[in-house]
Amino acid sequence: MRVASVLITGTTSGLGRALLEHYVERGVKVIAVNRRRVPEVEARHPSVRFEPIDVRSSADVEALVRGLTEAGELPDVFILNAGINRVDNDEAFDLPAYREVMDTNLYGVLNFMAPLTRLPAPGRARHVVAISSVVTCAGNPYALGYQTNKQALTTCFDVWASMYAGTDLVFKQVILGPVRTPIYTMEDRLPRWVVGMKRLASASLDDTVRAISRFAASRRKKLIHPWRALAVFGLARLARRFLPAAAQGRRTLDGKRRRT
C-alpha cells in the first residue's frame, strides 16, 4: 500500500522519533502521540500534528480516534510504539514498577483496539502495527515486566490477525531485537555477558526504521528484525540452564526462602 498518513505513539525519543523523522522526510502526514510535549521536536517539525495524549488513558485514546474519525483524518497506518523498560533483577517483586510497564507497553496499545475495531469498514486497508520484542521467543530474566507485556501483546496480535484476516483492518507486529536507542542503554545494571550478547544481536537505528517502514506498507503480518537476535538470545537462554546464578549475575534467594 502507499502510505499517505501515519500515527505514531512515543515519538519524543529513540525509535519513535526516528520513525517520525523518516516519514516527514518522505512527505507523509504524521500524527505524533506523546504523553509529554517536547518543544524542540515540535519546533523542528511544524508539519507534524502533535497530540499530547497519555496512551494509558482509554478515554483519551478513544476521544482521539473519535476526533480523527469525525474529521476524516484517520491515518493509513498506526505504529503503536510507545514503551518503557525497567531492569528488574531484585528478589523483591516491585509491583508498582511492573504495573507501570504494563500500563504503558500493553494497555497503551490495547486502548486503541476498542475504538479501531468498532470503526465502519473504510473501504481500504488500514494497518495497525505493534512493536513487540524478541524476548517473547527467547526470554529475558532481567526484565520481567517488559517480557510479559510483550508476550501478551504478541498473543493479542496473533489472534486479531487471524480474526480480521481478509478485512480492511490489518494487524501486524514487529518482533524487535536490541536496537541502539536509549531504552537499551541500562547496561550498568546488567551482567557483562548479557551486555555482550545484546550488542552482538543489536541492529542500528537507521536499519530498523527502514525495515519497519517497508513492513508497515507491505502485506506481511510479522517482521523479525534482526534475524540474528533469535539465535543470540536462544544461546543466552541455553546458557542460563547451565551457568550458576552467580555467574549469570543474578541474585539468589537467601537460605530462609530456599526449600530444604
pLDDT in tens, 185-198: 555 656 676 666 66
CATH superfamily of 5-257: NAD(P)-binding Rossmann-like Domain (3.40.50.720)
Is residue 253 scored above 60 in pLDDT? no
What are the Cα distances from residue 245, in Å, to 89, 93, 125, 135, 234? 12, 18, 49, 19, 18
Hey, how many other C-beta atoms are within 10 angstroms of the C-beta on 82?
Answer: 23
pLDDT in tens, 47-75: 999 999 999 999 999 999 999 999 999 99
Long-range contacts of the stretch 181-185 (C-beta < 8 A, 24+): 181/13, 181/14, 181/15, 181/18, 181/205, 182/13, 182/14, 183/14, 183/15, 183/83, 183/84, 183/85, 184/85
φ/ψ of residue 80, rounded to 5: -90, 90
- Cα 188 to Cα 73: distance, rounded to the nearest angstrom: 44
Percentage of the chain exceeding pLDDT 90: 53
**Confidence at 244, pLDDT banded by 50, 70, 90:** low
First to last CA, the chain: 61
State whether the Cα torsion 54-151-146-179 is positive or negative: negative
Chain centre to alpha carbon of residue 7: 14
- Cα 147 to Cα 176: distance, rounded to the nearest angstrom: 12
Residues 6+ apart with CB under 8 A from 192: 249
Residues 6+ apart with CB under 8 A from 214: none
Burial of 256 by CB count in 10 Å (0-12 exposed, 13-18 middle, 19+ buried)?
Answer: exposed
pLDDT in tens, 121-147: 767 789 999 999 887 776 566 677 888
- Cα 116 to Cα 143: distance, rounded to the nearest angstrom: 30
Residues 129, 79: contact at Cβ < 8 Å? Answer: yes
- The three state secondary structure string of 98-119 is HHHHHHHHCHHHHHHHHHHHCC
Percentage of the chain exceeding pLDDT 70: 77
Mean pLDDT of the chain: 84
Is residue 151 scored above 60 in pLDDT? yes
H/E segment holding residue 204 = none
